[in-house]
Amino acid sequence: MTETTEYDVVVLGAGPVGENVADRTRAAGLSTAVVENELVGGECSYWACMPSKALLRPVIARADARRTPGLAAAVRGPLDTRAVLSHRDEVAAHWKDDGQVGWLESTGARFYRGHGRLAGPRRVTVTGPDGETHVLTARQAVAVCTGSRAVLPDLPGLADAKPWTSREATSADRAPGRLVVVGGGVVGVEMATAWQHLGSQVTLLVRGDRLLPRMEPFAGELVAESLREAGADVRTGTSVRSVARAGDTVTVTLDNGERIEADELLIATGRAPRTDDLGLDTVGLPQGDWLPVDDSLRVEGHPWLYAVGDVNHRALLTHQGKYQARIAGAAIAARAQGVPILETDRWGAHAATADHAAVPQVVFTDPEAAAAGLTLAEAEAAGHRVRAVDYDIASVSGAYLYAEGYRGRARMVVDLDREVVLGVTFVGPGVGELIHSATIAVAGEVPLERLWHAVPSYPTISEVWLRLLEAYRQG
């Protein structure tokens, strides 16, 4: 007999976003159930952020060492691919979630392993691995935190070619001899970087005219230059017509008729929401679509339903999803206690305003590409009167000491009417750790006249801030 269990909050999805929503609602004293069909910890822990960075960290460390006088000769050899993959396995907990389940349960949340579907307002059915069914009802809220999945384009022969997606690319147990990567976004360039340096011959095919199209143009240009120097074949303005697999060989046919043979094919062309089998139709919402939300992460027209993280399409980044989870948890708790939601409160605790203008991102290639806020093109399109200030990071003393032959570039986009920073982009070795300073400047709308008095330490790469401000003042 199926029993119905009541909770204050039911969370669908136990990735970093769902975990953080549950942690916040439990801390507020709300009974909480969490439903997960795969591994607790989600995409980030097992197939994205963590394993991908475990693959990339040795690549970047070796590249930095090779640019350091006195150390370069000691790191001329290839990476120990087996050791890198073994460490990656440890970082991904060998794709077992016992530790994360233990943490989740330590918060006081009740964990249900199985597939959860809405069955009407505030009602969720969970079908477990053994076929057992649970019915959960939520007194206050249901939070959909199911994330996104890789999208495969409609290419002739692709389904039978057994292509890699980001999951296979980050969990592979060997380096393919030849790897074709389709897509020039973050997943495409990061995995092209990792596998080229781990022993594969990579061909990167990009339909557009540059890599990393959502960043400033120079970011993609510098990353492409580095990939080519590493031996990768990088082609822009290139489209795939069809794909075929025969045994261990994949043949990719381009629009111009050229054929490229490879051992594996990685498709990295986009993401789609995991909402196609969630029972959204039972509450009047289309299945398979992104879920639009307000700044408290509540689904429009459904006061009890929240969509947090990738699933709402505001910012498909783990750190932004966790940020949203903190906002959603606070909003759910406040509404449960009858506290008015004030989007202008001192901390802005109930409004995810950072999703609009201060989103940071680091692309862990060699060189690293890091950005926060708007690009110049985005700022102009939004109607701002702006000016871009560029600086060669290699001219900063800290960069000269960081690496011989340092190559990098910085851009600061300034709102001329308010004289605040709307966006910053850094490209170069070691710039990933700089981006939080840019995020603070953008999110805090710090006036340039105050930034002038934020003195960077010498000799560090962060001195680029002083050079950007000097260049702006010299106009």
The predicted structure's pLDDT at residue 347: 60
| Residue 51 located in a structural domain | no
- C-alpha distance from residue 117 to each of 8, 127, 307 (Å): 17, 9, 14
User: Does residue 58 lie in a domain region?
Assistant: no
Q: In the sheet where 249-254 sits, what is the strand order?
A: 240-246, 249-254, 259-262
Residue 52 maps to a domain: no
Same domain, 16 and 141: yes
**CA 434, chain centre distance (Å):** 18
Does residue 32 share a domain with residue 118? yes
Q: Which of 238, 269, 300 is the last residue of a domain?
A: 269
Radius of gyration of the chain (CA): 24
Looking at the fold, whether 142 and 287 belong to one and the same domain comes out as yes
Q: Which residues of the chain have pLDDT under 70?
A: 1-2, 342-348
Helix H or strand E encompassing 427: strand 420-427
What does the alpha-carbon distance between residue 75 and residue 94 come to, in Å, rounded to a whole number? 29
Q: What pLDDT is stored for residue 1 in this prediction? A: 47
Residues 21 and 118 reside in one and the same domain = yes
Q: What is the pLDDT of residue 309?
A: 98
Q: What are phi and psi of 393, to 5 degrees?
A: -60, -25
Residue 82 maps to a domain = no
Q: What is the pLDDT of residue 475?
A: 81
d(CA 39, CA 103): 13
Residues 424 and 310 in one domain: no
- In angstroms, the CA 239 to CA 184 distance is 12
Q: Domain with 386 in it: what CATH number? A: 3.30.390.30
pLDDT at res. 339: 84
Instruction: Give the range of the structural domain holding residue 13, as residue numbers without chain letter.
Output: 4-46+92-149+272-354
Both 35 and 131 in a single domain?
yes
Say if CB 145 and CB 24 are below 8 A apart: no
Q: How many domains does one find in the chain?
A: 3
Q: Are residues 276 and 140 in the same domain?
A: yes
The answer on 9 and 140 residing in a single domain is: yes
* Cβ partners under 8 Å of residue 373, min gap 6: 357, 358, 359, 413, 421, 422, 423, 424, 438, 439, 442
